[in-house]
Amino acid sequence: MAFIHMSVLFAVVAVLFTIYTKWRYSYWTRRRVPQLSPSFPFGNLENPLVRKHGVGEWLRILYTRFRVQKAKHAGVYVFGSPNYVPIDPEIIKNILQRDFHHFVDRGTYYNEKDDPLSFHLFNIGGQKWKNLRAKLTPTFTSGKMKMMFETLVECTHPMEEAMTGYCTSKQSVDIKDVLSRFTTDVIGSCAFGLECNSFKSDDAAFCEHGRKIFAPRSKIDTLKIAFALAQPKLANKLGVVLLPRESSSFFFNVVKDTVKYRRRNNIQRKDMLQIVMDLQESDDNAFTMEEIAAQALLFFLAGFETSSTTMTFCLYELATNVDLQEKVREEINRVLNQHGGKVTYDAIMEMKYMTQVIEETLRKYPPGTLNTRVCVSDYVEPVSGVTIEKGTKVLIPVWGLHMDPEYFPDPERFDPERFSEDNKHNVAPFTYMPFGGGPRICIGMRFGMIQTKVGLTCLLKNYSFTVSPKVQTPFIWHKYSFIITTENPIWLDINKV
């Protein structure tokens, strides 16, 4: 009898759970928003343990499917949570800019208690974000960039020495590895005031920990990340930490020791850490040591991976399109000749065609393939009329927009002329967002562009690049990487100009 009662109870629970799940997965249909059929337990996500695509590529595919249907927006489910996907650029503009006060937060996971270094400008929201953004904005003015410029250029010398060695050996080069070492040296020096010597050691600490943080994760780590993003409150209560603990400890100790050393010896440097230290000294409540370390880590992460990724794909495209490479080189030589042969801040700013090349690289290969927001108060979207409820996450399909043939004809073709003075006005607002958009646009955008231009200038003025036969194309995109990256290295052959 007891067995029968248990069987009946189990059946009732199963039926009720099925009804609830179906009701939950009809959230967007009930609001007359197009959706794809989800399945329990992952919703519209691919199973994180056996998925075929990274999240950015997955969202790009979904964008294309809804775009074919002429949809202005769509709804998807991440596990059981309904997520809103704006497709019409006007809706994206409303969310990111016009009605930003409804979407102040990114919805990215951080855990201030168990992982204080995750409490940085990119992650936090609300008034804390507003206060911190206001404090850090002076760090990235053009004046501060000029102040750090000479330090940045000095970091190109070890890279040039390494490239000379590669030319002599006639071996194909994993160009991403070279550029990651360069950006490690740049950020180590410009953010922390430290020499990383990444080209002299394969296990240089900064480079090693940068790789650990951005390395494609294990399937278990991927599941943990998916859980933290889908259920951040529960993940916080459970003490879920996403940063590798040894890397978090490394960066905290580096910052703490550097700050103590500078204050004890009254040392001033022209770098980002010094700017944050000066802010703290002018206002005792400005930053705790943990907050200083968190912002320094963000500087490192933002400058290390995104810029090296952009330069990698840029050099690949220039190696593929040799005529474009020669056009960039001609501009570099012409501008530098006007500046006494020196790489100066003003010279870099005058390289307009190089800017076009970088902008086209960021279109075709945006390091951040999607952008996220969370609705912080109920919002009636004026274009579609749909009510986006408080707590709903918004997924903005950056890569999908960048590869949409309506906005960028023949999107697979690498064409820097899209961003020329004559043509850039044709780029529709909020269809091109490599740095995000609205008040939460990337605060380090200017530094990232300067770092990228300096690196490319020093390489292209001295070396020519061709695609190695070792490169595997078409690219297979890595399924477990935060940043757009290929499964296999991008090999280039290098010759002295």
Q: Hey, what long-range contacts does 126-129 have (CB within 8 A, 24 or more apart)?
A: 126/376, 129/104, 129/105, 129/440
For the stretch 358-394, what's the b/e string if a residue is b when 16 or more beta carbons lie within 10 angstroms of its beta carbon? bbbbbbbbbbbbbbbbbbbeebebeebebebeeebbb
User: In sequence order, which residues have a C-beta less than 8 Å from that of residue 87 and are 6 or more positions away?
Assistant: 63, 66, 67, 71, 72, 73, 74, 397
| Cα distance between residue 63 and residue 7, in whole Å | 44
Q: What is the mean pLDDT of residues 371-377?
A: 97
Q: For residue 395, give its domain range.
A: 2-496
The sign of the dihedral angle between the CA atoms of 238, 239, 243, 245 is negative
47: nearest Cα among 479, 484, 373, 482:
479
> Dihedral, CA atoms, 482, 484, 488, 493, nearest 10 degrees?
-140
Q: Identify the band that residue 148 occupies on the pLDDT scale cut at 50, 70 and 90.
A: confident
Q: Does the pLDDT at position 171 exceed 60? A: yes
Average pLDDT, the chain: 91
Q: What is the structure's pLDDT at 281?
A: 76
| Cα distance between residue 497 and residue 201, in whole Å | 27
Q: Does the pLDDT at position 45 exceed 60? A: yes
Q: Is 464 helix (H, G, I), strand (E, B) or coil?
A: strand
442 is in an annotated binding site: yes
Q: What is the mean pLDDT of residues 138-164?
A: 90
Lookup result for tokens 């002295």: 496
Q: 81-86 and 393-396: which strand pairing?
A: parallel
For the chain, percent of residues with pLDDT exceeding 90: 59
Q: Is 171 left (phi over 0), alpha (psi -120 to 50) or beta?
A: beta
Distance of CA 43 to the CA centre of its chain: 25
pLDDT, tens digit (0-9, with 9 covering 90-100), for 329-346: 999 999 999 999 999 999
| Cα distance between residue 479 and residue 218, in whole Å | 11
Q: Identify the band that residue 284 occupies on the pLDDT scale cut at 50, 70 and 90.
A: low
Q: ω before 474 within 30° of 0 (cis)?
A: yes
Q: Does the pLDDT at position 402 exceed 60? A: yes
Instruction: Let me know: does 247 contact 73? Beta carbons within 8 Å.
Output: no
| Cα distance between residue 128 and residue 71, in whole Å | 36
Q: What is the structure's pLDDT at 63?
A: 98
Q: What is the structure's pLDDT at 465?
A: 98
User: In sequence order, which residues have a C-beta less than 8 Å from that of residue 260 and are 6 or more positions away?
Assistant: none
Number of domains within the chain: 1
Instruction: Let me know: does 228 contact 242? Beta carbons within 8 Å.
Output: yes
Q: Does the pLDDT at position 313 exceed 70? A: yes
Q: 81-86 and 73-78: which strand pairing?
A: antiparallel
pLDDT, tens digit (0-9, with 9 covering 90-100), for 24-33: 899 999 999 9
| Interior angle at CA 302, CA 301 and CA 307, nearest 5 | 110
For the chain, percent of residues with pLDDT exceeding 70: 97
Number of C-beta neighbours around residue 64 at 10 A: 13
207: nearest Cα among 235, 243, 179:
179
Q: What is the structure's pLDDT at 82?
A: 95
The sign of the dihedral angle between the CA atoms of 195, 199, 204, 205 is positive
Q: What is the DSSP string of 288-320?
A: -HHHHHHHHHHHHHHHHHHHHHHHHHHHHHHHH
Lookup result for tokens 């100009």: 497
| Cα distance between residue 44 and residue 205, in whole Å | 39
Q: What is the DSSP string of 160-211?
A: HHHHHHHHHHT--EEHHHHHHHHHHHHHHHHHH-----TTT-TT-HHHHHHH
The tokens describing 362, both together, are 């960021």
Lookup result for tokens 């978090």: 248
Q: What is the structure's pLDDT at 366?
A: 98
pLDDT, tens digit (0-9, with 9 covering 90-100), for 3-22: 676 777 788 887 887 788 88
User: In sequence order, which residues have a C-beta less than 8 Å from that of residue 213 and are 6 or more positions away?
Assistant: 243, 244, 247, 301
| Cα distance between residue 476 and residue 466, in whole Å | 20
Q: What is the structure's pLDDT at 154?
A: 94
Quote the crossing angle between the two packed helices 289-320 and 352-364, to the nearest 10°. 100
Number of C-beta neighbours around residue 42 at 10 A: 18
Q: What is the structure's pLDDT at 286?
A: 66
pLDDT, tens digit (0-9, with 9 covering 90-100), for 185-217: 998 888 888 888 888 876 567 777 777 777 656
CATH of the domain at 177: 1.10.630.10
Q: What is the structure's pLDDT at 218?
A: 66
pLDDT, tens digit (0-9, with 9 covering 90-100), for 70-96: 999 999 999 889 999 999 999 999 999
